[in-house]
Structure 1
Amino acid sequence: MQRYLDVLKKRLPHGFKQLQPSKHDNIIIAMSSGVDSSVSAALFSSFPKARGVYMRNWNNKQNDMKNCDEKDWNDARKVAEYLNLPIEMVNFEKEYWIDVFEPMLQSYELGVTPNPDVLCNRYIKFGSLKRNLDEKYGRDNYWLVTGHYSRILQNMGTSQFELWRGVDMSKDQSYYLSQVKPNALNQVLLPMGHFYKKEVRALAQDLQLPTAQKPDSQGICFVNNSQQGNFKSFLREYLPIERGDVVTIDPDRGKKTVWGQHDGLWSYTLGQKIGIAMPQGDPKYRGTWFVSEKLKDTNEIVIVKGRENPKLFRDNVVLTKMKWLMEGEINPMDILQDAVKNGSLFMQYRSLQKPIPIKECKSSPDMADCHLELLLKKPQRAMAPGQYGCLYLQDRVIGSGIILSSAT
């Protein structure tokens, strides 16, 4: 714990503080079996009322997935036993199916590109789990610790709790937390957000944690090992085949040429390389081709040549169904306009990408479910509808919405 306090002393931004639990507070550590949650557990294991919780979110019908889940649960138990920390498993399979998996499938059926990790954080880790803990310990009578690389800081001037990027930009996970409800922030601790990944690995080795050498998890939890390299094969098990044409469009005459077929608009996302036979002997067609548009009305996928083709880039994006992390503050639009003037408003439509400066922004009158239109200072590649656009004031997350459309 002292190492954590020493890091905080060096890295807390001026004018902010990181709340700390009292000695006899209830502290619940979400343990996924990875090194990040294991180190988080170690930092708080000395508190008398600290305990771990492992979430089972997926119905593991397939043997390799069942084995993977059991291995993670066993690893989490080994860490808890090593730290002399009680741990229990809670089951949110039903909630995950309803709130995360089914909406993901519905989005793919509509031809857009969802992000289940964002939904999981909003509805499961900081939704179902929080309600479970509220019932067990009483609302606001516990701290929830997770291994996310982000920070929740209290502004000493406004007393508001703010979500910030982690100090390690190469591991920052604030994008995935951008839809969490703001009323959850005041009792959540994210210690990993103050560390660099190499420091976490070193700390795990110094503490001789059983998961110190465990690789970081990759891919999506409900995709089994044999499908990780081909997400399309996984989706085929749940989505109907609705074949349509893969086409090019002549820029001068608007004429379409059919080059093949796809299994459904869900089978590709914007900017994705498409493996389709083109006449490589013709210089006009020689090269690699990418998805530039998905035409829902005609069930067609439009492709263009070259990864840096201008048709893959847009500088205007519309976000909808905005969720704000500025509870109790002034109108979000006032904050956005001031930030644009100051050059401090940025967007990301993927995690771990370089923040994109915003040149202009305007919204519909209803900010609860607004269409927020952003003009970016530089065109961006493959901003796919369905993805989340996360807004930042420098390093602070102020909200996010679903990309409705993008244009030049």
Structure 2
Amino acid sequence: MLSRYQRLAHNRLVEGYVRHKFPSKFDNVIVAMSSGVDSSVAAALFAGFPNARGVYMQNWSKSQSLNDPSKELCYERDWKDVCKVGSHLNFPVERVNFEQDYWIDVFEPMLKQYECGYTPNPDIGCNRFVKFGKLREHLDAKLGPGNYWLVTGHYARVMKATQTGEAHLLRSFYPEKDQSYYLSQIPASILPQLLMPVGDLTKPEVRQFAHELQIPTADKPDSQGICFVGNSQHGKFNKFLEHYLPSQKGNIITIDPESAEKTVWGEHEGIWSYTVGQKVGISMPQGDPRYQGAWYVGEKLLDTNEIVIVRGRDHPVLYRNFLELKNFMPLGDQDTTRQVVNQSMLDGKVSIQYRSLQTPIRVKNLQWNAEKMTLLLEKSQRAMAPGQYCCVYINDRVLGSGIISSTCVK
């Protein structure tokens, strides 16, 4: 299987890049295993290496007891699956507990962002502070800094630039599953020792490998939810957050574009439970042509704790072409990255994503100073919400990301 994977990967190089050297036989190889099929196949690729082993991170164990105390905790089910895969592959696995770190570095900051009315993404924080933060500290202490390869089952790629020899993070070969957006805040210093072999494969190929090797998780469904809620939809996620965020009622309103007069149509339980562009289930007078159809969150007025709604999914209020980012973190040296951005802007190669798996959005103009980054887009985009991460790319390379602080039309 390993040689077949290497042949596939060799034919899927990106122009201007070469691959990492593959680990030597007796190198330390650590595979971060989540219990899913992707990380299980990544483990299978290295199961024959004498110093290879898996590690399962337990980052959360509270949510299931809040939702249904009778159910087996999800981390226990996942750990059992990891053990089954390890036993099947004759591959040693261990479990580490980073719950306290996750709570302090990911969960509490997320709650604060929601309380401020923003739309955060905890998965990006988890990758930065836990999966590629605390786990790395743990492995550095155990094996020595830089004395191991870290392998994950992410759909993204790490390659070396032929001109500079630098390790860069790139989009996955299989765009339908690309996870580079979620990795845009990881430390650049981990890239030289990071391997993401699944990023060279398609999902059907991963499933095929898993079936050929009879891996116990071959048919396990993909996880679709946030780690502390599970495979959840928006409504269930809000129910979960109610345990941690206070109810602060406010008005749901429309604003007349000519007179600026406000009309109250209902009440919300907390401004944190809505995001810009979200459909609002509110009763409007459908007999009046002015109010027929579906209504959406157009704006959140934080000062007055009000939600402004607009009629129609494609209402002009929902579209903006200019955004400001705060706390932009480049995935590499800042001065070098700035030079690359400036040159790539001239070549028209810079794009962004403010959601995972969306079509890249071309950038018309980009300004970057110590305080913020501003971007003028070629086309207006729908529902860019403050608090969302915005990832900046040059072609398929991830340059870094920052948090959207404001948007407007220019």
TM-score (norm 2): 0.96
Residues 223 and 181 from structure 1, CA distance in 2 versus in 1: closer, same or farther, beyond 3 angstroms? Answer: same
Q: CA deviation at 1:109?
A: 0.1
Q: CA deviation at 1:3?
A: 1.5
Q: What do residues 243-297 of structure 1 show as CA deviations (whole Å, max 9, x unaligned)?
A: 1110000001000000011111101000000111111111100110000101111
Q: Counterparts of 1:46-85 in structure 2 under 5 Å?
A: 46-60=48-62, 62=65, 63=69, 66-85=72-91
Question: Which of residues 109, 113, 117 in structure 1 aligns to 2:123?
Answer: 117
Cα distance in 1, alignment partners of residues 71 and 189 from structure 2: 34
- The answer to whether 1:407 aligns with 2:387 is no
The residue aligned with 1:343 is: 348
Cα distance in 2, alignment partners of residues 336 and 145 from structure 1: 29
Q: CA deviation at 1:163?
A: 0.3
Amino acid at match of 2:360: P
Give the 3-state SS of the residue equivalent to 2:80 in structure 1.
Answer: helix
Cα distance in 2, alignment partners of residues 124 and 53 from structure 1: 13
Question: Which of residues 135, 144, 148 in structure 1 aligns to 2:141?
Answer: 135
Q: CA deviation at 1:65?
A: 6.4
Identity, % of aligned positions: 54
Question: Which of residues 318, 337, 357 in structure 1 aligns to 2:362?
Answer: 357
The answer (yes or no) to whether the contact 2:325–2:405 under 8 Å persists in 1 is: yes
Cα distance in 2, alignment partners of residues 297 and 15 from structure 1: 49
Amino acid at match of 1:267: S
The residue aligned with 1:372 is: 373
Amino acid at match of 2:379: K
Q: CA deviation at 1:225?
A: 6.2
The answer (yes or no) to whether the contact 1:227–1:234 under 8 Å persists in 2 is: no
Cα distance in 2, alignment partners of residues 224 and 395 from structure 1: 30
The residue aligned with 1:7 is: 8
Give the 3-state SS of the residue equivalent to 1:170 in structure 2.
Answer: helix
Residues 216 and 226 from structure 1, CA distance in 2 versus in 1: closer, same or farther, beyond 3 angstroms? Answer: closer
Residues 143 and 325 from structure 1, CA distance in 2 versus in 1: closer, same or farther, beyond 3 angstroms? Answer: same
The answer (yes or no) to whether the contact 1:18–1:153 under 8 Å persists in 2 is: yes
Q: What do residues 14-72 of structure 1 show as CA deviations (whole Å, max 9, x unaligned)?
A: 44222211100000001111000000000011100000100000033613664322111
The answer (yes or no) to whether the contact 2:30–2:52 under 8 Å persists in 1 is: yes
The residue aligned with 2:392 is: 391
Question: Which of residues 89, 102, 123 in structure 1 aligns to 2:108?
Answer: 102
Residues 163 and 360 from structure 1, CA distance in 2 versus in 1: closer, same or farther, beyond 3 angstroms? Answer: same
Cα distance in 1, alignment partners of residues 48 and 73 from structure 2: 31
Q: CA deviation at 1:330?
A: 4.0
Cα distance in 2, alignment partners of residues 224 and 161 from structure 1: 33
Give the 3-state SS of the residue equivalent to 2:73 in structure 1.
Answer: helix
Cα distance in 1, alignment partners of residues 16 and 274 from structure 2: 46
Cα distance in 1, alignment partners of residues 187 and 407 from structure 2: 26
- Comparing 59-68 and 349-358, the one that deviates more: 59-68
Give the 3-state SS of the residue equivalent to 1:283 in structure 2.
Answer: coil
Give the 3-state SS of the residue equivalent to 1:318 in structure 2.
Answer: strand
Cα distance in 2, alignment partners of residues 258 and 28 from structure 1: 57
Q: CA deviation at 1:337?
A: 2.4
Question: Which of residues 294, 297, 301 in structure 1 aligns to 2:303?
Answer: 297
RMSD over aligned Cα atoms = 1.4
The residue aligned with 1:288 is: 294
**Structure 1 unaligned blocks of 5 or more:** none
Residues 142 and 331 from structure 1, CA distance in 2 versus in 1: closer, same or farther, beyond 3 angstroms? Answer: closer
The residue aligned with 1:332 is: 337
Q: Counterparts of 1:175-194 in structure 2 under 5 Å?
A: 175-194=181-200
The answer (yes or no) to whether the contact 1:64–1:225 under 8 Å persists in 2 is: no
Q: What do residues 183-238 of structure 1 show as CA deviations (whole Å, max 9, x unaligned)?
A: 01111100011111111111111111101111101111211568765211111110
The residue aligned with 1:39 is: 41
Q: CA deviation at 1:387?
A: 0.5
Give the 3-state SS of the residue equivalent to 1:71 in structure 2.
Answer: helix
Question: Which of residues 207, 217, 220 in structure 1 aligns to 2:213?
Answer: 207
Give the 3-state SS of the residue equivalent to 2:307 in structure 1.
Answer: strand
- The answer to whether 1:87 aligns with 2:87 is no
Question: Which of residues 267, 273, 292 in structure 2 aligns to 1:261?
Answer: 267
- Comparing 62-71 and 16-25, the one that deviates more: 62-71
Cα distance in 2, alignment partners of residues 295 and 172 from structure 1: 34
Cα distance in 1, alignment partners of residues 123 and 340 from structure 2: 27
The answer (yes or no) to whether the contact 2:224–2:230 under 8 Å persists in 1 is: no
Amino acid at match of 1:42: A
- The answer to whether 1:173 aligns with 2:179 is yes
The answer (yes or no) to whether the contact 1:28–1:144 under 8 Å persists in 2 is: yes
- Comparing 228-237 and 18-27, the one that deviates more: 228-237
**Structure 2 unaligned blocks of 5 or more:** none
Cα distance in 1, alignment partners of residues 99 and 194 from structure 2: 23
Give the 3-state SS of the residue equivalent to 1:36 in structure 2.
Answer: helix
Residues 21 and 64 from structure 1, CA distance in 2 versus in 1: closer, same or farther, beyond 3 angstroms? Answer: farther
TM-score (norm 1): 0.96
Cα distance in 2, alignment partners of residues 225 and 183 from structure 1: 32
Cα distance in 2, alignment partners of residues 392 and 265 from structure 1: 32
